[in-house]
């Protein structure tokens, strides 16, 4: 059993024993840890909820091809033990000294040349996001650059000069002094990762478990049934950062590689519950386009690099973006304990507002998505005040199979319309067997308007949600028939 965490910062291994650091606790965020150090105060806190990007850092860890993978993440949502066995890169690490002179990293140099900074508060986070692009893309497209910038607010400079800095610098990547030093970093990370004993951190108020195998995770789950389960912690961390809640017992699954898998089987796509949203997004461009479409407007790249598909499902939020899509695809979830496993339909797994059918000794381990026939059409929609980085006002995913002009199969799954993601069962029943025509769809819209009793909140009034929900059905009809309005 390990009693400390270890990671690489400033090209050396840092070890933290929480019992000897009363100012730190297992759920101290990487942001607050860095701000406590004398040489890493470039990282800033803007929102403490992953929306502004001022706290962006880059995490490097071994990939599948014997090189390091670099990911921009929000340090305000990242508990310190999550970065065990990884390299933490901050704004202070980008420039280097050469012949007694400071040599800026290409992304820093181009930010200067393009006048990409004014007040400078957001600049460290912006630069770290650009560094993430630099290390992952050669000649990145405008779409890639804009996607990387979604999670970084800049209210002074505006984005054009920042985008220009990205174009000019990232075409020079990925070679830099980090590439030159990768062999050394790999050696340090290998030294840390050679010990696969479970990490157990205990303080007077908290216990934090970080296993590295599924069997260990299930054992700990069985012995600590009330432990809060995290992986990316983008949702759970808000309970601490926004509500000042003490999280007494935590089971951190982010080190369990068995949960970070993806495979294609006969008739199914199978995702490990620990697969990040960005990994899922990249895997579904050609195979599950309705899921990829919704993930393209899911949070920011920094969030998608942390948040997991299993975590989004287990939150059971009525505004969880992936849930309507997965229900429309007919998804099932695999639930495992130390002694048994079972496969449950996603619709039945979610039992109420933020409630799931997960036993006290179980973990969600896999998400099983069936392949669909070419005749079936599935389209997802997200309506929100902003296109990017916003909570759904209404979300929906529709599934349709038409045979001889009649509806043979239809699913209308809605988010943000009830306490759970919910299907419009009466509307589905009305349309099934009928001709897929505008007349029948408009009749169905009237039924649909009475199926839900949404609430009014800061995002919209209830009547607006009803109107949008009905109009989306008409939009779906137009898109599946190609007929004009």
- The ranges assigned to domains in the chain are 5-93+179-252, 106-175, 261-370, 383-481
Q: What is the pTM of this model?
A: 0.96
Residue 22 has what DSSP assignment?
A: T
Give the fold, CATH level 3, of 261-370: 3.30.465
Domain 383-481 = CATH 3.30.390.50: yes
Q: Which residues lie below 8 Å from residue 226, measured CB to CB, with a gap of 6+?
A: 249, 360
Q: Which residues lie below 8 Å from residue 286, measured CB to CB, with a gap of 6+?
A: none
**484 pLDDT above the threshold of 70:** no
At residue 99 the predicted structure's pLDDT band, cuts being 50, 70 and 90, is confident
194-216 confidence digits (pLDDT tens): 999 999 999 999 999 999 999 99
Strands 68-74 and 12-16: unpaired
Instruction: Please state the rounded mean pLDDT for residues 243-262.
Output: 97
What does the block give as tokens for 43? 């990282």
* Alpha-carbon distances of 381 from 22, 147, 210, 292, 418, rounded to whole Å: 48, 19, 37, 11, 17
Give the fold, CATH level 3, of 106-175: DNA polymerase; domain 1 (1.10.150)
Q: Which residues lie below 8 Å from residue 9, measured CB to CB, with a gap of 6+?
A: 40, 87, 88, 90
- The CA distance from 80 to 33, in Å, is 8
Beta carbons of 82 and 254 less than 8 angstroms apart: yes
At residue 485 the predicted structure's pLDDT band, cuts being 50, 70 and 90, is low
pLDDT at position 233 is 94
Beta carbons of 16 and 80 less than 8 angstroms apart: yes
At residue 172 the predicted structure's pLDDT band, cuts being 50, 70 and 90, is confident
Location of structure tokens 């349309």 = 431
Q: What is the mean pLDDT of the chain?
A: 95
- The CA distance from 367 to 362, in Å, is 14
- Strands laid side by side in the 12-16 sheet: 12-16, 5-9, 87-89, 56-62, 68-74
- Within 13 Å and on the Cβ side, how many CA atoms surround 366? 20
* Alpha-carbon distances of 75 from 35, 54, 57, 232, 250, rounded to whole Å: 11, 9, 6, 11, 18
Q: In 114-271, which residue ranges form alpha helices assigned H by DSSP? A: 123-136, 142-149, 160-170, 177-180, 182-193, 214-223, 237-241
Report the SS3 class of residue 482.
coil
pLDDT at position 257 is 96
Nearest Cα to 68, choosing from 81, 59, 77, 78? Answer: 59
Architecture of domain 5-93+179-252 in CATH? Roll (3.10)
């Amino acid at each position: 059993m390990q009693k400390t965490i270890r990671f690489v910062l400033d090209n050396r291994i840092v070890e933290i024993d929480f019992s000897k650091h009363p100012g730190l606790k297992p759920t101290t965020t990487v942001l607050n840890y860095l701000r406590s150090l004398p040489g890493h105060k470039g990282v800033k806190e803007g929102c403490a909820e992953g929306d502004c990007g001022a706290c962006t850092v880059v995490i490097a860890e071994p990939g599948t091809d014997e090189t390091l993978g670099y990911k921009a993440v929000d340090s305000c949502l990242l508990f310190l033990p999550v970065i065990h066995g990884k390299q933490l890169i901050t704004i202070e690490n980008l420039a280097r000294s050469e012949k007694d002179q400071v040599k800026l990293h290409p992304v820093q140099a181009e930010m200067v040349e393009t006048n990409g900074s004014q007040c400078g508060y957001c600049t460290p986070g912006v630069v770290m996001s650009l560094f993430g692009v630099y290390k992952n893309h050669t000649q990145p497209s405008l779409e890639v650059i804009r996607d990387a910038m979604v999670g970084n607010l800049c209210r002074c400079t505006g984005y054009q000069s920042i985008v220009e800095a990205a174009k000019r610098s990232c075409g020079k990547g990925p070679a830099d002094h980090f590439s030159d030093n990768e062999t050394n970093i790999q050696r340090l990370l290998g030294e840390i990762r050679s010990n696969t004993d479970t990490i157990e951190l205990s303080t007077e108020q908290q216990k934090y478990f970080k296993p590295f195998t599924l069997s260990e995770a299930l054992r700990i789950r069985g012995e600590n049934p009330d432990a809060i389960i995290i992986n990316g912690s983008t949702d759970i961390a808000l309970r601490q950062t926004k509500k000042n809640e003490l999280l007494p017992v935590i089971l951190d699954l982010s080190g369990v590689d068995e949960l970070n898998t993806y495979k294609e089987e006969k008739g199914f796509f199978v995702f490990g519950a620990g697969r990040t949203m960005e990994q899922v997004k990249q895997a579904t461009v050609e195979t599950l386009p309705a899921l990829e479409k919704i993930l393209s407007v899911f949070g920011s790249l920094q969030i998608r690099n942390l948040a997991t598909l299993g975590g989004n499902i287990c939150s059971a939020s009525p505004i969880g973006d992936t849930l309507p899509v997965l229900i429309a695809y007919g998804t099932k979830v695999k639930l495992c304990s130390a002694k048994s496993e079972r496969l449950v339909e996603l619709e039945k797994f979610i039992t109420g507002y933020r409630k799931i059918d997960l036993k006290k000794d179980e973990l969600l381990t896999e998400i099983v998505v069936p392949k669909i026939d070419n005749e079936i059409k599935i389209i997802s929609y997200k309506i929100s005040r902003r296109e990017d980085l916003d909570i759904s006002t209404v979300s929906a995913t529709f599934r349709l199979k038409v045979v001889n002009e009649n509806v043979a199969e239809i699913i209308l799954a809605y988010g943000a319309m009830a306490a759970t993601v919910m299907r419009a069962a009466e509307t589905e029943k009305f349309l099934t067997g009928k001709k897929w025509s505008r007349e029948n769809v408009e009749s169905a819209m009237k039924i649909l308007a009475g199926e839900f009793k949404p609430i009014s909140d800061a995002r919209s009034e209830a009547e607006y949600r009803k109107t949008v929900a009905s109009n989306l059905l008409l939009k779906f009809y137009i898109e599946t028939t190609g007929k004009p309005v």
